[in-house]
Structure formats: structure tokens, C-alpha cells
């Protein structure tokens, strides 16, 4: 039997601006770092770019109709910083045409009875800020510019937007944006995003929440890890250490208002930035309302011997998809790194809630089906694997809430439609809607039409 969900459980779908919008040179939008990155030679994105993507900028009404058809109660989307402030800086002019686009999008959602959930930053830093001072490698400049950008969004959209997410997966941005010294730059970039989050949340709590009445949080990614050898205490320590390097890095300062995890301090020493007393005081003002969780898969952790390398960001851990007995962590999907591991997801939910004590929203969860990147539309829409993945992960949420005491309030499927999957280009298809990249025609997959009923049935089972 399927585990039940809370009766008021929220169902939504998620996207990100650069992955779907297109229209990169229209209506005053400035370049982002991903515009630059996608056009590098040799290609880092399998020849793909977001110049057109899904053309959501021109087709958003059609996409909002899809959300309504799918029974979405909420839609999580991100705002393109450089569409609102083309050069990005706190003294740079606003782009009213870009602001108008997001106003139309928000109004279209509300007219359909769908709650907008806005992510302020989903990896697309204005290129101008990267050129000026290195972006997230300048802790002071970046947080001042981000606070101003956040304030503009609160001022222009906060009369209708009641749910805000500051950053999407700062771990990814920090680890994979290194350009020079990979032994120091990730920790600086992470520090800058933590402080930028704190500035933006404190500003909202102090100057906007009293009259707008919204909520604000952050979306953190992170796999769940179990020990490769269940009888080896060193592997048990490695599993916990890996999650501290992945999640505790951001969650400890943000939610616990503490220093970075001790295992990070021990390994990284002076390379890990220090928080000041003023920083800790700011954290007290920057109380987040919820924990946004992006989750896709789980793994096993095996400890490493010897001193870790200077550019090690895993915590001296080897990541494996099978344990000592040769047992796989889960069923294979359409990507080598993504296995379906619902039982470990349940443990992940329970662990995060017990550690950080905030209501959890699953702000991303999904998968490509095996072989889907080579499927035509007629085959892709029959996405039985994705239906099973969704059902199993919703079941894990139900068990975590009903049996383990976790508080999980909602679920956003990734993604509303097939789109640009960053460095993987247009290969993997995570969408519940098939996107024909030649015609840009959208076709609902079976999972889109079934997900509403999956949630409805589980919510109705609550006595």
C-alpha cells in the first residue's frame, strides 16, 4: 500500500530561466555567464545553447495552460537577473521590459489559480559582474549587488509573490565555477553565496515580510550516503562527512547559524573562510521559513586513506553506486549518475528535518527514462519509468512524514518540460512534457497527467 501524504500537500512543477526562456537578445536583456559559457569553443555543452531553448519567453501562456491542465497548485520558476538588471550591479539601471515579462508571467499564474514560487538565482550571474570583479569570488561586492537585485524583485513582484527562494544549489555553483585555484575558489564562492542569501533574507524579513506576508528559503542539493561497508565505522564516518561537505557546508550557517562543519574546518584549515561576529549577527536576522530540497539520487561512501588532495571537495571520500556486497543503490535511469533510491530518500528527508528543523519542500525531483534521449515523441510520452520514480518517491515522503516525523509540505517535479540540461545540452529529457526542439511543440507525457492523481490519492488516504 502507498504511504499517505499530508492532506494539504502541495503539488507543483519547476523550471529555470536560462534552461527554457530563450530570447537572450530581446527587450534589453543583458548577457549572463551561461550565454558566454554555452558559446565557448571547443564546446562545453555538446554544442547546445540557450539562445532559443524552449522559447518560453514567447510561449509562456501556452506553458501556463499546461500547468493548469496538470493540476499544478504551484509553479517554481527563476528570474533572470540580467533580464531585470542587464549589468547586474547595485547602481546599474533596471530593464522595465524584463520586469514587465515577469509581471505578465506572475499575473498569468494567479489568473489560473497557481501560486508563483520565485527563485532569485539559478546559476545565471550577469556576465558584467563576472567581468567587473570575478562574480562570486568577491564576497563583499557580490553580496551587495545581490541584495539590491533581491530588493528590486521584492518591490516589483512581492505584492503577488509570497514564496521566495534565494539560491538554487549553491554547491553546484561553487564547485564547478572555479577558474583558477580549485583549492580555494569553491570555498570563497560558497561563502559569498551564503552571505548573499543572508543579506537577501534579512532584507525581506525586515523591510518586506511585515506588509507582504510571504516566506523565504533556499534550495540545497545533496545526495544521501550510506557506508560502503556497513560494518566499517570509518565508512560510516565517511558517509556522514560526505553529507556535511555537501549539505552542512550551507545548511549549518543558514539554518543552525553555526560555523561550517568541524570536518570541513579540519580538512580545509585556512582555505575555508571565517565568519565574523557581524556575520553571525546577520544570520540571526536572516531566519529562513523553509528548507528547499533538490534531490535526485543516493550513493555509498567509502573512506579514503592518506591525506586528501588540495582540490578535494568530497571530504576524503570515494563515491560509489554499489556497496561492498555488490548491491546497487537503486534502479538505473537515463543518466549514469542518477539511480532511483526511494528508501534512501526517505532516510534523507528524516535526517535533514531532524538536523535543521525546518518544514521541507521538495523543490526538485525527477529523472530521464532509460534511453529517452534517443526516443521519438511517441515513445517518450509513454514514460513508465518516470511514473514509477515519482510514485516511489512520493511514497517515501509519505513514510517519512507518517512514520518518522518529518515535516514535508510540498513537491515540485523537475521539470515542467524537456529543456537545456546545462553541460549535457539537449540530450537528457527530464520533462513531464515532451519538447520537440525543431518545432518547439509541447506534448504531455503520461507522467504529467498521472502525477496529480498520485498526490490526490495519497492525500485522500489521510484519515
Half-sphere exposure of 454 (CA within 13 A, CB side): 26
Task: Characterize the bridge pairing of strands 215-221 and 224-227.
Answer: unpaired
Contact present, 396 and 24 (Cβ < 8 Å):
no
Find the distance separating the first CA and the last CA of the chain, reported in whole Å.
15
To the nearest 10 degrees (0 to 180), the angle between helices 139-157 and 185-207 is 30
Q: What are φ and ψ of residue 39, in 5° steps?
A: -110, 15
* Strands 10-14, 331-332: pairing kind: unpaired
Q: Tell me the angle at which helices 384-403 and 446-460 cross, rounded to the nearest 10 degrees.
A: 20
Q: What are the C-alpha distances in Å from 139 to residues 9, 69, 412?
A: 38, 43, 31
**Residues 141, 192: Cα–Cα separation, whole Å:** 9
Euclidean distance between CA atoms 232 and 219, whole angstroms: 32
Question: How many Å apart are CA 422 and CA 46, to the nearest integer?
Answer: 9
Contacts 24+ apart (CB under 8 A), 312-316: 312/267, 313/175, 313/186, 313/245, 314/242, 314/245, 315/238, 315/241, 315/242, 315/244, 315/245, 315/263, 315/264, 315/267, 316/238, 316/241, 316/267
Three cell numbers at 185? Answer: 575558489
- Cell output for 234: 570509518
Q: How many Cβ atoms sit within 10 Å of the Cβ of residue 248?
A: 26
Nine-digit cell string for 288:
529562513
**238 within 8 A of 301, measured Cβ to Cβ:** yes
Cα–Cα distance, 194 to 175 (Å, whole number): 14
Measured distance CA(358)–CA(201) in Å, rounded:
15
Catalytic positions, please?
A: 169, 364
Residue with grid cell 534565494, as numbered in its chain: 166
CA 198 to chain centre: 17
The DSSP H or E segment spanning 127 is helix 127-133
Amino acid at each position: 500500500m502507498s504511504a499517505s501524504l499530508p492532506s494539504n500537500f502541495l503539488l507543483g512543477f519547476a523550471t529555470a530561466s536560462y534552461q527554457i526562456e530563450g530570447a537572450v537578445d530581446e527587450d534589453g536583456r543583458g548577457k549572463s555567464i551561461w550565454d558566454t559559457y554555452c558559446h565557448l569553443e571547443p564546446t562545453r555543452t555538446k554544442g547546445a545553447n540557450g539562445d532559443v531553448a524552449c522559447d518560453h519567453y514567447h510561449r509562456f501562456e501556452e506553458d501556463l495552460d499546461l500547468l493548469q491542465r496538470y493540476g499544478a497548485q504551484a509553479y517554481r520558476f527563476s528570474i533572470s537577473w540580467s533580464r531585470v538588471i542587464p549589468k547586474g550591479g547595485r547602481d546599474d539601471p533596471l530593464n522595465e521590459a524584463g520586469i514587465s515579462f515577469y509581471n505578465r508571467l506572475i499575473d498569468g499564474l494567479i489568473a489560473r489559480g497557481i501560486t508563483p514560487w520565485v527563485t532569485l538565482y539559478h546559476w545565471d550571474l550577469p556576465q558584467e559582474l563576472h567581468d567587473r570583479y570575478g562574480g562570486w569570488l568577491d564576497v563583499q561586492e557580490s553580496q551587495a549587488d545581490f541584495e539590491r537585485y533581491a530588493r528590486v524583485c521584492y518591490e516589483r513582484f512581492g505584492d503577488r509573490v509570497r514564496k521566495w527562494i534565494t539560491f538554487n544549489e549553491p554547491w553546484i555553483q561553487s564547485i564547478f565555477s572555479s577558474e583558477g585555484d580549485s583549492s580555494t575558489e569553491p570555498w570563497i564562492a560558497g561563502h559569498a553565496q551564503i552571505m548573499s542569501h543572508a543579506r537577501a533574507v534579512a532584507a525581506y524579513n525586515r523591510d518586506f515580510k511585515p506588509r507582504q506576508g510571504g516566506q523565504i528559503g533556499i534550495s540545497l542539493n545533496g545526495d544521501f550516503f550510506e557506508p560502503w561497508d556497513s560494518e566499517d565505522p570509518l565508512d560510516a564516518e565517511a558517509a556522514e562527512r560526505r553529507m556535511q561537505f555537501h549539505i552542512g557546508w550551507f545548511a549549518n550557517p543558514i539554518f543552525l547559524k553555526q560555523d561550517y562543519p568541524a570536518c570541513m574546518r579540519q580538512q580545509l584549515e585556512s582555505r575555508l573562510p571565517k565568519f565574523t561576529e557581524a556575520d553571525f549577527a546577520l544570520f540571526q536576522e536572516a531566519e529562513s521559513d523553509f528548507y528547499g530540497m533538490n534531490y535526485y539520487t543516493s550513493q555509498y561512501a567509502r573512506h579514503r586513506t592518506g591525506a586528501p588532495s588540495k582540490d578535494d571537495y568530497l571530504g576524503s571520500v570515494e563515491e560509489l553506486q554499489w556497496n561492498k556486497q555488490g548491491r546497487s543503490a537503486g534502479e538505473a535511469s537515463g543518466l549514469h549518475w542518477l539511480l532511483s533510491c526511494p528508501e534512501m530518500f526517505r532516510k534523507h528527508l528524516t535526517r535533514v528535518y531532524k538536523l535543521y528543523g525546518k518544514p521541507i519542500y521538495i523543490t526538485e525531483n525527477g529523472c530521464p527514462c532509460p534511453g529517452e534521449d534517443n526516443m521519438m515523441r511517441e515513445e517518450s510520452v509513454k514514460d513508465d519509468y518516470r511514473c514509477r520514480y515519482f510514485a516511489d518517491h512520493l511514497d517515501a515522503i509519505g513514510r517519512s512524514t507518517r512514520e518518522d516525523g518529518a515535516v514535508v509540505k510540498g513537491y515540485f517535479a523537475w521539470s515542467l518540460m524537456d529543456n537545456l540540461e546545462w553541460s549535457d545540452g539537449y540530450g537528457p529529457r527530464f520533462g513531464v512534457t515532451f519538447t520537440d526542439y525543431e518545432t518547439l511543440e509541447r506534448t504531455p507525457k503520461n507522467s504529467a497527467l498521472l502525477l496529480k492523481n498520485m498526490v490526490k490519492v495519497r492525500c485522500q488516504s489521510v484519515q
